[in-house]
Amino acid sequence: MNTRHLTIPMFPLNIVLFPGETTKLYIFEERYKQLIEDCIDNNASFGIPFVENGKMKTFGCEVKVNRILKTYDNGNMDILVEATDVFRLLNFSNVLSPKLYGAGLVEYLNKTQKITLNNLQDATVNYFAGVQNKLIDYDTVSKLTVYNVAAALQLTYPEKYKLISSANQQVHLLNLLNFIIHIISAEQKLKDRFIEN
């Protein structure tokens, strides 16, 4: 499988989105206003490398501007972005002259990775049935991607980062699901015991 490499504008933030997820951003720095305007003018996307405790990490998500929600008198903006891809950052330049913002060379990760592990399929079916009260069959699960399932888990940004940066995302997701299922069933047992007493 040949991996795609591309240099894209960068906006480091402490957020991680899975492909298809959206979020609102408030744009107030001059360099990022320029970045957003350039992306809108050229119908281009930009990268959000994950920042944790002030340090930029090597993985992130590529997003496109879905729409401008509001423009303020001073030029600041509220925008809605949607994630289209996930990547590993190969190198980063703080300023992409003559622009004010930085850019990075990225290698795209496989965002359409289907759920192939049997025990991950089992855990996914159990999670949706036991935790979300949704009955889904194995045929449906086999069409889902790792990110489709992970998006349903309401993970924190650091947890999402751990998943996208994991060497084996399927095993990582399996461990997450098993952990959540375990916690939920332990809570249920406690509730049941409480009701009996």
What is the tens place of the pLDDT at every residue in 105-121? 999 988 778 888 888 99
Q: Domain boundaries in the chain?
A: 5-108, 118-196
pLDDT at position 95 is 87
Burial of 173: CB neighbours in 10 Å, binned 0-12, 13-18, 19+: buried
Kindly tell me if the per-residue pLDDT of 1 is higher than 50: no
Q: 10 Å Cβ neighbour count for 148?
A: 17
Choose between 161 and 181: higher pLDDT: 161
Across 139-167, average pLDDT: 93
Mean pLDDT of the chain: 91
Are 123 and 31 within 8 A, CB to CB?
no
- Which of 144, 159, 131 is closest to 50 using CA atoms? 159
Least confident of 1-5, 69-73, 89-93, 96-100: 1-5
pLDDT at position 190 is 82
User: pTM of this prediction?
Assistant: 0.88
* Domain 5-108 class in CATH: mainly beta
Across 160-168, average pLDDT: 95
Are 76 and 26 within 8 A, CB to CB?
yes
Kindly tell me if the per-residue pLDDT of 92 is higher than 50: yes
